[in-house]
Amino acid sequence: MGLLAFGINHKSASVDLRGQIAFAPEIVVSSLQNARSELDVQEIALLSTCNRTEVYIQGDVSDGQLLDWLATTKNVELNQLQERYYCHRGDQAISHMMRVASGLDSLVLGEPQIFGQIKSAYAVGREAGTVATFLNQAFQQAFSAAKRVRSETAIGKNPVSVAYASVSLAAQIFTNLSDAHALLIGAGETIDLVAKHLKERNIGHMTVANRTLSRAQQLGEDYSADVILLSDIHDFLPKADIIISSTASQLPILGKGAVESALKKRKHKPMFLVDIAVPRDIEPEVEELSDVYLYTVDDLEEVVQDNIRARSSAADMAQNIIDEEVESWSRQNRALAVVDTIRAFRSSVETIRDDEVEKALGSLKRGQDSVQVITTLARNLTNKLLHKPTKRLKQAGEEGREDAIHTTNELFDLTKKKH
């Protein structure tokens, strides 16, 4: 009764289907408890993100049962899932968990957020009471692999987002970012990442401009930035050394005239502009101005691709680490698998021993000679302990099963004596 990993992800299913089967955080505990009962499994954990929904299970359950459960639970047609799911078992399942935890199975190779998400899935499973000894060991092995990948490879040392690429280019143009003032236009996820990377690079000052202040104010609090309305941006432009824009506007926000006017007020001190938006936030004609460095998403592609290549190289090393960790997991499970056999073997031997000792003590009480009693005890123990193994070995010899004979020699450290 081993490990199983079942689900869909960004490689196997569309974003619409992933959205349909995602589990909201507030229903995960009840969903786990229901799934354990409905699937009749010992342990189960659930990982649900924008890019994947997966369950990790200890128990005997078929692909069909899992598909029926997911289709029923999320009210989707079974045929929508049949061509989109994957199911890994045993060593392949633990390898998959390790790859997920390490970011090797992510949309962005090596991204670190998934490690926190899988740790949260483990914690929620513990809270729900559906993760116990077996899955605990599996998760700990996956965490160990992910930490080794992070510490022993460069998988996470070359960020591959356009946000990071933007800040990297800014750092090349402004040798000391602590003297620079950055204007961030927009307040979405990309600008959030830009602000994070700028903060890490010790940017001198940041200002966030947005159509509404509420979201911008949250970024302002998170990254110690000032906040202005988008309508005030033209008055602010002369102060900005770095401008990075990412909005959902269908029309340009910055035109050539506004930037040209700002340059005059700056006495032609250089300005660095990055337009991450699609469609563009900054008019292409701005690039015609002197003392302006304007980059678009396409220009950032080279930086991103360089880092992707670096991560791909690190991924090969990471896979070697995961292979080692899978072998460690397998050894532990093989050792655990024999525990019941060892326990049964010891119990059988101890029963024979106790019976013979009881007989010997009875003989001593009846006054029989102690030497005779001990001799009989030893002979009876030997005969009874060897009876079944001897019978099985003879049968193995008759059937030509050399493996059983070799195993016996190995188990009892026997050597053939030459006569």
Respond yes or no: is residue 87 known to be catalytic: no
CA separation for the pair 22, 74 (Å, rounded)? 8
Interacting residues of 350 by C-beta distance below 8 A, sequence separation 6+:
none
Measured CA to CA in angstroms, residue 376 lies from 72, 114, 351, 382 at distances of 68, 67, 17, 10
Q: What is the CA radius of gyration of the chain?
A: 33
Helices and strands (DSSP H and E) totals, the chain: 16, 10
Per the CB < 8 A criterion, the answer to whether 33 and 39 are in contact is no
The neighbouring-strand residues paired with 273 are: 243, 294
The neighbouring-strand residues paired with 292 are: 271
- Active-site residue, from 27, 50, 78, 229: 50
> What residue type is assigned to position 270 of the chain?
P
CA separation for the pair 180, 191 (Å, rounded)? 17
Tokens (6 digits) for 62 = 């078929």
CA separation for the pair 372, 366 (Å, rounded)? 13
CA separation for the pair 295, 287 (Å, rounded)? 9
What single DSSP character describes residue 108?
A: S
Catalytic residues: 50
